[in-house]
């Protein structure tokens, strides 16, 4: 048997890592708390908690390298594997920074990466002081465990503070609400030897409605109207962060564009939903490049092939035949049980020109809940 990759987490990201790794001759083993984890189509599944030491040893046994597909993986578990001699890539330090919104923002600031004004909030008094400094509108976010817009409350008026404090409490971070022009992300891959390559900036649209607010609905790549200076700014942000973390693998940074400036919101130390378009839309997918990096192989080109849009299928899958009838459309069904607000799959549509892409997206938007 060739090289074995152990993946902590067995969701769709693990599944797509497996799909990208099979042609490279890799075998996979996954650890997930759910016996229904979608990645098990690509390799044996160890069912257990992601912080459980026995389960971690079990999934890692004999693996060439260990990676994770969820930033909630307890960093101590990843560290324990490292101490047993396993190559854990990206390293557990990236998990630690990403798991604490305050540490994440302080890291950006230390590296000279612009961020929205923020303040740490540990007590009700600190919240009052932070509001005096930052003003409204602002966003109160829990320091740990928030994702997809969960664990955060928008404060449009100072009078909304009591309810927000009762809902979230401390430890939290208060952040200035940014009137951004649009949301972008930069996906970057850094090799074992320290070379960083970035994909073209991606434009992201998130759901705003209650219940599914904050979930990514659609990504377009390359993002329209990106000047070389803006692309360079995104790449500089990614380069600084990945070098500082000594990072190996793919990482995504969510950005707010305000005029010509990029502000960093947060980063995910893993392959990312806003990079799914790379499967069909780039010369090397984010999944393949993540595996190449963690196994010490040469990186692949991050150039886009034409124009792509990725639409998430949330809560329900579209009619497969109608989707596949759209030229350039590719359906990805993660094999998950439908539930409201759950990402069940995605559709990527590619085209040679932006105009052709717009036509195809218009046809797909009727079919996909995006």
Q: DSSP assignment, residue 296?
A: T
Q: Please report whether residue 206 would count as binding ligand AMP according to CB under 6 A.
A: yes
- Output the smallest distance, CB 183 to ligand AMP, in A: 6
Q: Which is nearer to ligand AMP, 188 or 207 (CB)?
A: 207
Nearest to 90 by CA among 242, 193, 253: 242
Q: Which is nearer to ligand AMP, 183 or 280 (CB)?
A: 183
Burial 271-310 (b: 16+ CB within 10 A, else e): bbbbbbbbbbbbebbbbbbbbbbbbeeebbebebebbbbb
Strand, helix or coil for residue 337: coil
Q: Please report whether residue 72 would count as binding ligand AMP according to CB under 6 A.
A: no
Report the site for ligand AMP in 235-294 (rule: CB under 6 A): 254, 265-266
Q: Which is nearer to ligand AMP, 151 or 328 (CB)?
A: 151
Report the site for ligand AMP in 88-117 (rule: CB under 6 A): 116
Which of 32, 69, 104, 175 forms a contact with ligand AMP (CB under 6 A)?
A: 175
Report the site for ligand AMP in 30-49 (rule: CB under 6 A): none
173 Cβ neighbours under 8 A, 6+ residues apart:
101, 102, 105, 118, 119, 120, 121, 140, 141, 143
The structure tokens listed for 142 are 């829990």
For residues 313 and 346, the answer to whether their CB atoms sit within 8 Å is yes
Q: Give the up-direction half-sphere exposure of residue 131: CA atoms within 13 A in the CB hemisphere.
A: 21
The greatest distance separating any two alpha carbons of the chain, rounded to the nearest whole angstrom, comes to 63
Q: Please report whether residue 183 would count as binding ligand AMP according to CB under 6 A.
A: yes
Selected range binding ligand AMP among 171-179, 222-230, 290-298, 319-327, rule: CB under 6 A: 171-179
**Phi and psi, residue 332, nearest 5°:** -125, 115
The structure tokens listed for 226 are 């990106």
- Output the smallest distance, CB 177 to ligand AMP, in A: 4
Which of 4, 60, 95, 139 forms a contact with ligand AMP (CB under 6 A)?
A: 139
Q: Please report whether residue 146 would count as binding ligand AMP according to CB under 6 A.
A: yes
Q: Please report whether residue 149 would count as binding ligand AMP according to CB under 6 A.
A: yes
Q: Please report whether residue 214 would count as binding ligand AMP according to CB under 6 A.
A: yes
Q: Rule CB under 6 A: which residues touch ligand AMP?
A: 116, 139, 146, 149, 152, 175, 177-178, 183, 206, 214, 254, 265-266
């Amino acid at each position: 048997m060739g090289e074995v990759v152990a993946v902590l987490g067995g969701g769709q990201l693990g599944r797509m890592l497996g799909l990208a790794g099979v042609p490279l001759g890799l075998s996979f083993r996954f650890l997930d708390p759910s016996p229904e984890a979608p990645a098990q189509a690509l390799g044996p599944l160890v069912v257990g908690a992601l912080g459980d030491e026995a389960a971690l040893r079990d999934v890692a046994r004999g693996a060439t390298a260990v990676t994770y597909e969820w930033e909630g993986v307890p960093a101590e578990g990843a560290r324990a594997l490292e101490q047993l001699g396993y190559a854990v890539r990206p390293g557990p330090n990236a998990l630690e920074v990403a798991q604490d919104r305050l540490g994440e923002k302080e890291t950006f600031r230390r590296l000279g990466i612009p961020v929205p004004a923020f303040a740490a909030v540990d007590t009700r008094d600190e919240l009052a002081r932070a509001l005096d400094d930052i003003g409204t509108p602002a966003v109160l976010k829990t320091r740990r465990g928030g994702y997809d817009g969960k664990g955060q409350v928008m404060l449009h008026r100072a009078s909304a503070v009591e309810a927000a404090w009762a809902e979230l409490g401390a430890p939290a971070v208060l952040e200035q609400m940014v009137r951004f022009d649009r949301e972008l992300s930069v996906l970057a891959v850094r090799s074992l030897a320290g070379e960083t390559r970035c994909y073209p900036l991606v434009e992201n649209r998130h759901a705003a409605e209650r219940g599914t607010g904050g979930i990514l609905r659609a990504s377009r790549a390359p993002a329209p109207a990106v000047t070389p200076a803006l692309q360079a700014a995104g790449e500089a942000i990614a380069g600084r962060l990945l070098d500082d973390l000594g990072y190996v693998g793919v990482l995504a940074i969510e950005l707010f564009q305000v005029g010509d400036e990029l502000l960093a919101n947060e980063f995910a130390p893993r392959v990312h939903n806003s990079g799914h378009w790379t499967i069909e839309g780039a010369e090397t997918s984010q999944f393949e490049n993540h595996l190449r990096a963690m196994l010490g192989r040469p990186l692949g080109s991050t150039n886009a092939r034409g124009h792509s849009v990725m639409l998430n299928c949330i809560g329900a899958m579209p009619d497969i035949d109608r989707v596949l009838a759209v030229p350039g459309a590719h359906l990805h069904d993660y094999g998950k049980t439908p539930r409201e607000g759950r990402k069940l799959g995605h559709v990527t549509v590619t085209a040679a020109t932006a105009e052709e892409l717009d036509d195809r997206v218009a046809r797909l938007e009727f079919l996909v809940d995006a």
